[in-house]
C-alpha cells in the first residue's frame, strides 16, 4: 500500500503477502522503512489495516499539530472501533471517498499509479531478460524489485503526487477540477461552445447557397445571346401558353360532354318513336278503305272485330300490311 501527502511526500510502503507466515528473505533488500505483513487472501483485513494505521499513519500524524485529514477508499476493513478511537485521540478526521469515484477523487489513482505502473513494467521486463529461466517472480525477489522501482520514480514522485491532489480538487480546494471531468456536468463555457456549434449547424443545414434547380436547355437563335431577364420572360410566356392550353382542353372536354349528352337524348327519342310505330302497326285496322286505330281489348276493338267477321273482311297478315285489303 502506498501512502502520500499533499506536500508531495511518500510515506513508507506497506506490503501484504498472500501467506500464513513471513520469511526473512521476503523482507530483505526492500526500501527503507517498508513494513511487511501477510494474510490468507493477500488483501487487507481489519487487523492488518489497524496495524498499518498504527505503524504508518500515527508516526506521520504525531509529528503534526492541529487537525489532520486521512482520505481513503470506501473499504469495509478500513472502519473498526480501534481505528475510530485512534482518530479521536490524535485529532484525525477519516474521510471515505464515495464508491466508484476513486478514478476522479483519489490522488493516487488520478496522477500517481499510471506512471508507477509504466515504470513497474520496465522493471519486470529487465528482470525477465536477466533471468530468462524464471517464469514467475518469487517473493524473495519482490523487495529488491520494489526498491528498484521506488528509486526510478524518486525524481518524479513529488510532482506526480502534487498533481494528483490538485487534479482531485483536494489541495488547493477546487471542486470544479472534479466536476469538469464528469460527462453529465456542464458549466458556462461548455454551454457557450454548444450554442455556437448549434448556430453553425443551423446556418449550414438550413441555408443551401450552392443548391440549384434542374437545368433546362435554352432554345436560342444561332448567333444570338440571352440574359437572365430573357429567360424569365420566356418562362413566364411558357407558363401562360400552358395555361391557355389547359383552358382550351377544358373547353374541348365540356363541348365533348355536351355532344355526348345530346347524342344520348337523340337515341332515347328515336327509340321512343320506334316503339310508338310498332304499337300503331299492331293496333291498326282497315274498314271500308279507311284505317282505324283502336286499342286492343277495348269495346271498340271487340265490336270492330265482330263486324269484320260478320261482313267477311279479311284481316291481313303483318307481312302484307302495305298491300290493299280485299273484301269478299
pLDDT of 284: 47
Alpha-carbon distances of 98 from 80, 84, 176, rounded to whole Å: 18, 19, 17
Mean pLDDT by 10 residues, the chain (328 residues): 93 94 93 94 93 95 93 88 94 93 92 93 93 89 94 86 94 90 63 71 66 64 63 61 59 65 62 52 45 48 57 47 40
pTM comes to 0.56
pLDDT of 74: 85
pLDDT of 294: 44
pLDDT of 288: 42
Q: What is the DSSP string of 2-41?
A: --B-TTS-BPPPEEEEESSS--GGGSTT--TT-EEEEESS
Degrees to nearest 5, angle at CA 133 with 127 and 137: 50
In angstroms, the CA 190 to CA 36 distance is 49
pLDDT of 311: 53
In the structure grid, which three cell numbers stand for residue 284, read together? 291498326
Show me where the domains of the chain are located.
Answer: 14-43+97-186, 282-320
pLDDT in tens, 86-131: 999 999 999 999 988 999 999 999 999 999 999 999 999 999 999 8
pLDDT of 198: 77
Amino acid at each position: 500500500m502506498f501512502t502520500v501527502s499533499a506536500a508531495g511526500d511518500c510515506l513508507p510502503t506497506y506490503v501484504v503477502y498472500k501467506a500464513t507466515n513471513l520469511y526473512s528473505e521476503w523482507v530483505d533488500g526492500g526500501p527503507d522503512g517498508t513494513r511487511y505483513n501477510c494474510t490468507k487472501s493477500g488483501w487487507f483485513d481489519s487487523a492488518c489495516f489497524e496495524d498499518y494505521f498504527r505503524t504508518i499513519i500515527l508516526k506521520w500524524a504525531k509529528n503534526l499539530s492541529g487537525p489532520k485529514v486521512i482520505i481513503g477508499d470506501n473499504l469495509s476493513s478500513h472502519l473498526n472501533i480501534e481505528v475510530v478511537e485512534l482518530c479521536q485521540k490524535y485529532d484525525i478526521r477519516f474521510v471515505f471517498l464515495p464508491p466508484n469515484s476513486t478514478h476522479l477523487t483519489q490522488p493516487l489513482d488520478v496522477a500517481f499509479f499510471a506512471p508507477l505502473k509504466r515504470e513497474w513494467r520496465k522493471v519486470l521486463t529487465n528482470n525477465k531478460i536477466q533471468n530468462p529461466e524464471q517464469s514467475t517472480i518469487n517473493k524473495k525477489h519482490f523487495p529488491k524489485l520494489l526498491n528498484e522501482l521506488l528509486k526510478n520514480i524518486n525524481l518524479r514522485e513529488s510532482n506526480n503526487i502534487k498533481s494528483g491532489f490538485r487534479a482531485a480538487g483536494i489541495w488547493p480546494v477546487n471542486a470544479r477540477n472534479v466536476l469538469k471531468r464528469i460527462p453529465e456536468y456542464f458549466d458556462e463555457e461548455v454551454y457557450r461552445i454548444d450554442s455556437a456549434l448549434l448556430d453553425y449547424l443551423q446556418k449550414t443545414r438550413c441555408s443551401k447557397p450552392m443548391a440549384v434547380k434542374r437545368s433546362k436547355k435554352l432554345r436560342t437563335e444561332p448567333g444570338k445571346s440571352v440574359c437572365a431577364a430573357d429567360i424569365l420572360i420566356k418562362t413566364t410566356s411558357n407558363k401562360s401558353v400552358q395555361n391557355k392550353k389547359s383552358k382550351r382542353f377544358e373547353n374541348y372536354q365540356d363541348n365533348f360532354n355536351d355532344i355526348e349528352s345530346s347524342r344520348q337524348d337523340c337515341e332515347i327519342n328515336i327509340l321512343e318513336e320506334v316503339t310508338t310505330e310498332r304499337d300503331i302497326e299492331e293496333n291498326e285496322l282497315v274498314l271500308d278503305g279507311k284505317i282505324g286505330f283502336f286499342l286492343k281489348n277495348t269495346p271498340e276493338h271487340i265490336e270492330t272485330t265482330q263486324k269484320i267477321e260478320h261482313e267477311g273482311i279479311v284481316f291481313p297478315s303483318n307481312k302484307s300490311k302495305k298491300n290493299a285489303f280485299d273484301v269478299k
